[in-house]
Amino acid sequence: MRSDGPSVDGEVRTSKATVRVEGFFGASRAPDVVAELLAAFDMADEVELALDGLSGADVSLVQLLASARETADQRGARLRVVSHGYALRQCLERCGFTHLFDWELLSATEEVGYFLFGGDE
């Protein structure tokens, strides 16, 4: 289980920052990842939430994604959620959210929808 914290490509404001979450994401990890995402939004206009190392998650991940999207919208930033495995999809299905993410959450940024269901695999 690992969250790398934001990493910055380049030093200008428009650079991309990545927050990587690995292993199981549950409520107890949420505060740390929220802090890292906020730091990432502070330093970059494009934030990538890398979930390709995710092994599982509870519903707090759904809330995190929705809030991250809201933050991106409010700041005029871009949020990319990258997931190469099934863990994210499984979490969304298990929590009864696939529909909502298809139509509402994911439509906020084109990239999210693209990467979310394996488009990048």
Interaction site with other proteins (CB under 8 A): 26-28, 30-31, 33-34, 37-38, 41, 58-60, 62-64, 66-71, 74, 94-97, 99-100
Burial class for 100, CB neighbours closer than 10 Å (0-12, 13-18, 19+): middle
Q: Which is nearer to other proteins, 41 or 115 (CB)?
A: 41
Strands (DSSP E) contained in the chain are 2-3, 7-8, 16-25, 46-57, 78-82
Shortest distance (Å) from residue 74 CB to other proteins? 5
Q: Minimum Å distance from CB 70 to other proteins?
A: 4
* 99 or 119: CB nearest other proteins: 99
Compute the half-sphere exposure of residue 94: CA atoms within 13 Å on the CB side of its CA: 13
- Taking the C-alpha atoms of residue 109 and residue 113, their distance in angstroms, rounded to an integer, is 7
In this complex, which beta carbon is closest to other proteins, that of residue 32 or of residue 121?
A: 32
- Tell the smallest beta-carbon distance from residue 53 to other proteins (Å): 20
| Shortest CB 95 distance to other proteins, Å | 5
Residue 5 Rama label (left phi>0; alpha psi -120 to 50; beta): left
Strand partners, 19: 49
Please say which residue, 8 or 38, places its beta carbon nearer to other proteins: 38
